[in-house]
Amino acid sequence: MGVVVHQAEVFYRSPEVGLRYLPEGPAVCGPNRMSWVAIQHGSDARVGSLNILDTRSLNNTTVDLPGRPGFAFPTRSSMTWLIGLERQLGLYDLQSESWEVLVDGIDDDVEDTIVNDGVVFSEGVLFGTKHLEFNDKRAGLYLWRYSDQRLIRLRDDQICSNGKVVFCGDHGYRLLDIDSPTQTVVSYSLDVERGVLGDSQVVLDWREAEDFPDGMIATPDGNSVVVAFYNPTDVPFGEVRQYGLEHGDLEVVWRVPQSPQVTCPQWVEDNGSVKLVITTAAENMTTERLSRHPQAGSLFIAPTELATLPEAIVFDPG
């Protein structure tokens, strides 16, 4: 069977330049609703936002945050989001506009890092940080364990910790992790009780490529992963690709026209079918380069082969 190729289309493009700079982290947050984060509103900005998009009317509500969010996940409380913000993990209540810190002091023994990507799973939250200059192995990989609300550092040598998937099987948990500059997906066993990772194993390798893996999700059967690729070069389209985990075979490609810096994929339901929503970024693009890639910073949507929307694990704020 050959590789399936889909063409993505522009789904939503914010009229605000700041919201097009670094969109990431799309997440379903109810029927016909999805959220996403604008990590920062410009190259020198120290703040970003949570955005909630009505997928039918395309009305987008922006909630300015007191810092730069790496991720924001809806919770079992419809008005509360779990957010990794600067060097904190906390809960933001939309109604009261209040910020409750669950843990701070993240990466407190190094400078120039902030929280980046993460994932919620049944035992807590796995997330990483990024070095703001992208050139030093000082960023951390963390487990925030739900049972005792303890923060555990699993690694301290990443550069830009990005997409993560956690599988639960007969032999415990397995973490798939992206540290973007390594251009690999690495697998670890995860012992939640002891708070340690097993030995690393490279399962997908793009070290000869010109683009970099960014956000990542799994297919519902757990046999494949879908990875967004951030391409800093001039190409006519960006890409999201699906790879089988058993042999590393390329299975599906989603092409993202006029927007090479692709950041994150996510499954959503749209008009009774499962689609892939894709965030892209205008980060660090000059005016000249933006003219060549006029859809940079747009959110895209594309068809999939899925029949039903995968059930997501939702954080319980208690």
Contact yes or no for 89/103 (Cβ under 8 A) = yes
Assign 34 to helix, strand or coil: strand
Query: What CA–CA distance (Å, rounded) separates 91 from 73?
Result: 10
| Domains assigned to the chain | 4-303 (2.120.10.30)
Place of tokens 């980046």: 116
pLDDT tens by residue, 218-250: 999 999 999 999 999 999 999 999 999 999 999
The sign of the torsion formed by the CA atoms of 62, 65, 68, 72 equals negative
pLDDT tens by residue, 35-52: 999 999 999 999 999 999
CA torsion, ordered 283, 285, 291, 292, to nearest 10 deg: -90
pLDDT tens by residue, 178-220: 999 999 999 999 999 999 999 999 999 999 999 999 999 999 9
Q: Give the tokens for residue 44.
A: 């020198």
Q: Give the tokens for residue 70.
A: 């790496």
Residue 233 zone, left/alpha/beta (φ > 0; ψ -120 to 50; rest) = beta
DSSP 270-308: ETTEEEEEEEE--TT--HHHHHHSTTTT-EEEEE-S-SS
Per-residue model confidence (pLDDT) at position 170: 82
Per-residue model confidence (pLDDT) at position 44: 95
Question: What integer best gives the mean pLDDT of the chain?
Answer: 97
Per-residue model confidence (pLDDT) at position 271: 86
pLDDT tens by residue, 52-66: 999 999 999 999 999
Query: What CA–CA distance (Å, rounded) separates 128 from 154?
Result: 10
pLDDT tens by residue, 92-115: 999 999 999 999 999 999 999 999
Say if residue 1's pLDDT is above 80.
Answer: no
Burial of 260 (0-12, 13-18, 19+ CB in 10 A): buried
Say if residue 318's pLDDT is above 90.
Answer: no
